Amino acid sequence: MPPIIHDVLILGSGAAGLSLALRLRDDISIAVVSKRDLREGSTLYAQGGISAVLDAGDSIEAHVQDTLKAGAGLCEAQVVQHIVERGPDNIRWLFEQGVAFTRNAEYTSAGGYHLTREGGHTYRRVVHAADATGHAVETTLEAQIRTRPNVNLYEQHIAVDLITTKSRSEHRCLGAYLLNRESGQVETFLAKFVVLATGGANKVYLYTSNPDVSTGDGIAMAWRAGCRVANMEFMQFHPTCLYHPQARTYLISEALRGEGAHLLLPDGERFMPRFDSRAELAPRDIVARAIDHEMKRLGAECVYLDISHQPADFILEHFPTIHGRCLELGIDITRDPMPVVPAAHYTCGGVMVDHRARTDVPGLYASGETAYTGLHGANRMASNSLLECLVYSEAAAADIEQRLADWPLPPEVPAWDESRVTEPDEEVVVTHNWDELRRFMWDYVGIVRTNKRLYRAKRRADLLAQEVIEYYSHFRVNNDLIELRNLLEVADLIIQSALRRRESRGLHYTLDFPSKDASQRSPTILIPDSYQPRRD
């Protein structure tokens, strides 16, 4: 099968990937690749909103300081300043694309946008579309991208690996091998520039708020291609996922706590004021650890989130999606508290990029949850992530346009070779190892860690990786095998990073080193054997 060639190959179709494609000129040939349907990804399920300084009473400096404080000393201040400054323009860009943000005529100082407040923010600065902001953003951008004749959409395709040159003198990314999930064939995609917008890696844990596609593919592929990764120990656990057998990944937005919801023990006692003066509005790492502590102390299966003290009309206006979903499960949030537990939610680390979204491999960019920009530090502040992906996709688009004319076309590359592999004979190897990985990561590399648990996880991850490498070498690839291989790669990066950080900071909390260490105020950077310093 001949290679499929474009100017730009974008792997991922969430807010990062689609906004980048929409910002590129219409004379640029673009491929947008999605593992499943175009809209299926974390963006679609984001409830809360996007943080930006829109109110006259707020300020860029206040947003910057809130972000730095939440990041526990590890944010890169210049990056934070740049992203926050670009916030209002990016909100206006989304509005121009047709995103229907919630409006309120009373908010004249915010241009008519209704703003809410979430954990870590000292002002109301979260613009939203009721309680389904991600759905509004994703479906709007999807509708726009489907009208662009220069954009080819490849749904039901999963990347197997990046294609890079072998020569040290001409090291660059040339494209990717993609498995067509419908035909079962591996196809060769070539491009001048490749963008990783594949999202995070939270399916590495047993309990997660993320959809099934969040398997760390971009991070793992970039690592194998020679990119450095940073801060992989900082995996954010959202404090409040619905605890119900029919809704294991359903997120309960932080905006409820921003609008006055209380966290309660099974006996009805409110407990967050005992852990932090900000109570339910403390940053997510503090709230998640507090819930984890109380559940373990009491042997409780869950705690409860209660907003029923607010007027029913207020709840229905602000949280119609959450109310409707809970009602389907027999919970009326206007009257009843919701059972909740923490769950893996956001990958704060990722592939290292510069301010133009360039990775270490020339021709390869990364944006969104796949990337490490320096914004989040040791803990992501609520609603900063969609802002980050918009700003860095904007930067990547501008850089690609500037370099496109002078960047060489990719040379011929070998087609995917399946001549020495056969059909898988024991799929149970993949399913068993998948389940074992996610369980030991939850038990040993979760909200609270110890070195003993981390070394135990490392031994198990190494053993499973050897089994999967052997399996990968002998059998045709399929979706589950590709994802498992990537998750094992990412799990190892998380464990290695956690072992290197010998302190407790932000999302990384270890009983062996329960205090911060001022000497460790720098990112945890892992360097692959194939790393080459970038020359461009």
Catalytic residues: 284
Residue 423, Cβ density class (10 Å: 0-12 exposed, 13-18 middle, ≥19 buried): exposed
- Residue 159: helix, strand or coil by DSSP? strand
CB 101 within 8 Å of CB 533: no
What is the DSSP secondary structure assignment for residue 83, as one 8-state letter? H
Q: Which of 462, 456, 432, 430 shows the shortest CA–CA distance to 443?
A: 456
What is the DSSP secondary-structure string of 345-412?
EEE--EEE--TT-B-SSTTEEE-GGGEE-SSSTTSPPTT-HHHHHHHHHHHHHHHHHHHGGGSPPP--
Q: Which residue has the tokens 């990384």?
A: 508
Task: Kindly give the residue spans of alpha helices, DSSP state H, lying in 259-351.
Answer: 284-298, 312-318, 320-328
**Count of residues for the chain?**
536
What's the farthest any 2 CA atoms get from each other in the chain? 68
- Residue type for position 401: E
> What CA–CA distance (Å, rounded) separates 291 from 11?
36
What is the DSSP secondary structure assignment for residue 270, as one 8-state letter? B
Q: Which tokens sit at 16?
A: 């990062």
- Residue type for position 467: E
CB 133 within 8 Å of CB 48: yes
B/e letters for 450-478, b = 16+ CB within 10 Å, e = fewer, are: eeebbebbbebbeebbeebeebbeebebb
For residue 81, the surrounding DSSP H or E stretch is helix 77-97
Q: Are strands 173-180 and 186-196 parallel, antiparallel or unpaired?
A: antiparallel
On the CB side of 53, CA atoms within 13 Å amount to: 19
Residue 525, Cβ density class (10 Å: 0-12 exposed, 13-18 middle, ≥19 buried): middle
